[in-house]
Every structure is written in C-alpha cells, then in structure tokens.
Structure 1
C-alpha cells in the first residue's frame, strides 16, 4: 500500500509539473505572437538556403519580403531568377515576366506549407496551435524562439520540425524536412516603413484575390 501511495504521489507531482510547464509554455507562445501581431506592415531582405541531402547540394535564393497583416506575404525573389510569390489565406500565386500560376491554398499541400510563413509573421497563434505542437517556447522583449512539430498527417509527410527565432520580428526560420532535407530562411534589414503599400505591391496582391 505504501508503494502504491508513493507511486500515486509521484504521478500527481508529475502531472502538476507538466501542467505548470504547459501553462508557462503557452504564456511564452502568447507573448511571442502578441508581439508579432502588433505591426501591420513589415518589410525585410531574405536569404533562403534549401539543402537536399540526396544531392549533397544547397540552393540559395534571395530577395525582399513584405508582410501585410491585411493582405498576406509577398516574396520578391531577385536571385537566381526574378519572380514574385504572393501568399494569402486563400491563394498561392507565382508570377514571372513570362509565366503566371495560381493554386487554392486548401487544394495543395505546398499551399498549406506556404501559409506557415503567413501564420508566423502575422502572429496567428490560433492557426499555428491548430496545426502544430509547441515543443518549446522562450520569450523576452529582446529575444524569443519557438520550436514546433506538425500535428496533421499532411504536414508530417512534408517536414519534421520548425524552429523560429527573432527579436521584434521574425529573424530566422529553419524547417527540418523529411530525408534530412532542410530549408533555412534568414531575414535582415527589417523596416515598418512605408506604412502603406506601394501601387506595385498592391497590384500583386490583387492577383491573389
């Protein structure tokens, strides 16, 4: 009986510890996403490194990114090719000088992955928690980081883990994918100016209406 009571006590303590940790973790996540959602427009430069283990090769692209809380995310790739990638809650549009393509977000697994960036940069905690488990989260006003793992079978087929970190904004996202592949995106030179979208940016978002 004594061993049984001791086991029950240990189990209860473990549950209390787990609950406290989960609460603290949820609080940290809320603080992170409250900070991210506070700014309606953010512009930055980005460099993306896509590593394919099977080819032992890393592909690098760079350009600028615009996040608009009202509209979505606009990636303007400058190298190795020039292209615009527009991501909204409903559509994913790719445009070059000669080509144009679009897909409905809910009809493509890659469209769903594209919205991950939209959810992160907009501080959409509810959407992320719906699709991901929060493995760890740490927040301070000057530095934060969060690690996520996919919940849905769809996301589990595409990648293993997402690590994001930043200060006021998102500075770095690392997606660990299947077969030891990885995508790393580094953001720099963040600015909240100008506070209104330019006509050319607005025209691109209208393509995804």
Structure 2
C-alpha cells in the first residue's frame, strides 16, 4: 500500500506548480489567498481514495498530516498500512531511506498546506471560481512531460484546502480529503521527535 499512497501524495505536491498568466486567474488567486487561514502550524486528518482502472474497488487509506512553517511536513498513513513521510526544504525521509529534494519542493508544501499561494510558480494553466461558501481551482499542465501523465488537478476549499483531486491521463483518479484541521501553537512531543529526524 505504501507504493500507492505515499508516491501519489508526493506527485500531487510536486505538481502543484502553477502559472497564472491571465489577469482573471490572478484576481481569483488573490481572492482565494485572502480567505485562507495562514498560521505557522497546521494539522489534521486525511482520507485518500485511489481508483485504478485495473482494479474494481478503490484503494483507501487514512492518516494524519502536520505542517510547520520552518520545520516541514509530517505525512503519516495509519490505515490500512502504517507509513511515515517526512519532508522539509532539502530532505525527504520514508521507510525506504532519505534523499535530497529540489529546492522548490519546500515552497510547494508552503503553498499547499500553509496557504501561501504566492509561492506557486510555473507549470499549469488555471481556471477557478471563488464563491461565498467555497472556492475551486482547476489545474491543467502546460509542460509536455507532465501532459503525458496528468490530465487535471482540482483543488476545493473554503478557509482551508479541503480536497485535492488528481486525474491521470491513463484514467486513474486520486482524491484526498482533509478534515479535522486545526492550528495549534506548539508541536507535540511526538511531532517534535519526527521533525528532529529531518534536522541536519
């Protein structure tokens, strides 16, 4: 299950690189960014559903996430198989070991979980709408390589990001819902220990 959950999340994060060339898209982005809660720390629960064309039933997983502005992200899958992903601006740690990540990787996390949409850069064209109760953004890849893999990415939220939907060219679909989101003012001892593993 790790092979179908953690990599999917990583790909979703890595592909959250947007380009807002049109003034309309700029206006929508600014409006949505103004609504998002921005604090040094965000945590919550997630439920992921991955639908593969070769399988009749979707693959389901649940877990928790923690975002810290200066320390990085903890992505902990609890069911059906326990796994842990730790990421900061320069390193990524999984059960398979540690590896370096591109410098821009941390900025993508900040944009996704920290509400800092101004950090998003080139990669996708976008359409969206900002309504009273919710907003929605649809991302279409512009890069030729990405177009071979990703069809669209859709984000939905209110004052928080609530759902991410990733449609692949091959027909596979991944949906991640974020719930029980909160913004504590300090890390728990367990969270602190996890982040210490990312320290140089």
Q: Given the two structures, how large is their TM-score scaled by the length of structure 1?
A: 0.74
CA deviations on 1:115-156 (whole Å, 9 max, x unpaired) are 75553222343443322221x122246311111122334433
Q: Which residue is 1:129 aligned to?
A: 121
Q: 1:203 aligns with which of 165, 169, 193?
A: 193
Separation of aligned partners in 2, 1:37 and 1:89: 22
Q: Which residue is 1:160 aligned to?
A: 151
Map of 1:76-91 to 2, 5 A cutoff?
76-91=76-91
Compare CA radii of gyration and give the structure with the larger one: 1
Separation of aligned partners in 2, 1:186 and 1:54: 23
Q: Is the contact made by 2:42 and 2:181 (CA closer than 8 Å) also made in structure 1? A: yes
Q: 2:171 aligns with which of 180, 184, 188?
A: 180
Q: Is the contact made by 1:76 and 1:82 (CA closer than 8 Å) also made in structure 2? A: yes
Map of 1:52-201 to 2, 5 A cutoff?
52-95=52-95, 100-106=96-102, 116=108, 118-134=110-126, 136-140=127-131, 142-193=133-184, 195-201=185-191
Separation of aligned partners in 1, 2:71 and 2:147: 28
Q: Given the two structures, how large is their TM-score scaled by the length of structure 2?
A: 0.76
Q: Is the contact made by 1:29 and 1:138 (CA closer than 8 Å) also made in structure 2? A: no
- The size of the alignment, in residue pairs, is 179
Separation of aligned partners in 1, 2:71 and 2:145: 25
The Cα of 1:59 is off from its aligned counterpart by: 0.8
Q: Is the contact made by 1:148 and 1:161 (CA closer than 8 Å) also made in structure 2? A: yes
Q: Is the contact made by 1:33 and 1:123 (CA closer than 8 Å) also made in structure 2? A: yes
CA RMSD of aligned residues (A): 2.7
Unpaired runs of 5+ residues, structure 1, are 1-20
The Cα of 1:34 is off from its aligned counterpart by: 3.9
Question: Structure 1 residues 202, 31: CA separation in 2 closer, same or farther (over 3 Å shift)?
Answer: farther
Map of 1:14-33 to 2, 5 A cutoff?
22-33=22-33
Q: Is the contact made by 1:35 and 1:123 (CA closer than 8 Å) also made in structure 2? A: no
Separation of aligned partners in 1, 2:175 and 2:133: 22
Farther-moved stretch of structure 1 (35-44 vs 53-62): 35-44
